[in-house]
Amino acid sequence: MTFSSRLRAASFPALFLLGFVGFAAGEERRVPGSTAELTLSYAPIVQRVAPAVVNVYAAKVVENRTPFFDDPFFRRFFGGPNSSLPREQVQRSLGSGVIIDPSGLVVTNNHVVEGASEVKVALADKREFEAELVLKDTRSDLAVMRLKGAREKFPALEFGNSDELQVGDVVLAIGDPFGVGQTVTHGIVSALARTQIGITDYQFFIQTDAAINPGNSGGALVDIHGRLIGINTAIFSRSGGSQGIGFAIPVNMVRVVVGSAKGGGTAVKRPWLGAKLQAVTPDIAEGLGLTRPIGALVGSVAPDSPAARAGLKTGDLILAVDGQTVEDPNAFDYRFATKPLGGAAQLGVLRGGREAKIPVALETAPDTRRDEMVIRTRSPFLGAKVANLSPALADELRIDATGEGVAIVDAPEGSVAANLGFKPGDLIVSVNGERIASTQDLERVTKNPKRLWRVTIQRGGQQISVVLSG
């Protein structure tokens, strides 16, 4: 069983707008009490929300390669100057988006616009605008764009509070499935805080049975008051169509990304804990005297990090953040990442069988000179993007900040590095017996082609040594 709608690489990404029935604090929830109540309509909500839901058209130019392109003999037939095969082609994708500011700011999924050279946004009234990317955040799979040449105030959605959602709340979905035009579906919130989905770094999804199909990615979740409560991201499907299991990013994460974009930032700034966390197994739970596996166990603490200065120790079990229960490390990451910078967060911790509250400063991870570069010389790392390791980069890659070496930030599909099995998060420790302390070291060592390459990397806390042919 696979998530067939993980749409990062889809040319026709799925988007849908989900909504739930929003209730004021203390307001009673009840089932319909009469036939008359069953005839009530969602039309007023849709009329209010629909103008702020847009279609997003993205196009990117990709190189058209053949399996024989690198062979000089076949190149004359498949990719030579006299070949009729186009060297480049344009890939197009369709998604949705939501206007979240009257000035023309639009939020969508990052996978809808990732790598795009051109993005257009079509409003509900059929007008089209070119859009420029303001900020993208691959960790949350969110992107913020601005409509070009806008000289008016656009209809925008107000942010709600996704923490107020409850399982069973009614939801609406508005998007453009399969490109047929704006479509509305409804359902309920099937589950909250889904953390084992594997779509983004911050896994804390709203699950719904509202019909979601390809073309819906990036749409808005709204409540019955028209407030945004999430961005639809993926579906669980065997056929590629809706089977009643969809996932959306909670609006409280969206708020963080949009706030960074409005503040003029080019990257999202989030609090840094500085500790490696692990899931609690049934055996660990039994050893800690717990009735069930819950919480995030501290495996290690980085020196001079907020966790270290707060006194957090290896073996501590984090059970809550500012009073909100933490079921596992993914839940902690979401709760902590959505806290505003400055001040402190109160961590509920179990230590030695006793509960304690530990205040941790909400500050960003320090970042040194990354010196990012793409290795272009003939070597096992050809095509990989590498950077100097820092606490900030380690936090982004979810690796130990105390590791040694140069980090692989990206290994694009089809590159030599990817084909040899190198992955983002790998640390290159040594090459041909030389220690690699910086990207300049790696660039220098890989300049001269070799018949054999002896490479040592660090992955998942373990060192791996391999010999590769040049």
pLDDT tens digits for range 247-260: 888 999 999 999 99
For residue 175, the cross-strand partners are 183
Task: Tokens for 219, please give them.
Answer: 């749409």
Contacts of 359 (CB under 8 A, 6+ apart): 310, 344, 345, 346, 347
Indicate the DSSP class of residue 340: P
> 366, 53, 271: which is closest to 183 by C-alpha?
53
Positions marked catalytic? 111, 141, 217
What is the full per-residue pLDDT of the chain (470 aa) written as tens digits? Answer: 333 333 332 323 333 333 233 445 555 667 777 777 666 788 888 889 999 999 898 887 665 554 444 445 444 444 455 555 555 666 676 888 999 999 999 999 998 888 888 899 989 888 999 999 999 998 889 999 999 988 889 999 999 998 888 888 888 888 776 667 777 778 788 888 777 666 667 778 888 776 666 677 888 888 888 889 888 887 665 555 555 677 888 999 999 999 999 988 878 889 999 998 999 999 999 888 888 999 999 998 988 899 999 999 999 999 999 999 999 999 999 999 999 999 999 999 999 889 999 999 999 988 878 888 899 988 999 999 999 988 888 888 888 777 788 999 998 888 898 989 999 999 999 999 899 999 999 999 888 888 889 999 999 878 888 888 76
Closest CA to 209 of 247, 250, 153: 247
Structural domains for the chain: 1-26+33-268 (2.40.10.120), 275-361 (2.30.42.10), 373-469 (2.30.42.10)
At residue 328's C-alpha, the angle toward residues 357 and 223, to 5°, is 95
The per-residue pLDDT for range 160-193, each reduced to its tens digit, is 998 888 888 888 888 776 667 777 778 788 888 7
What is the rounded CA–CA span in Å between residue 389 and residue 392? 8
Q: Tokens 């020196």 appear where?
A: 303
Give the DSSP per-residue string, 26-69: TPPP----SHHHHT--SHHHHHHHGGGEEEEEEEEEEE---TTT
Q: Whole-prediction pTM value? A: 0.75
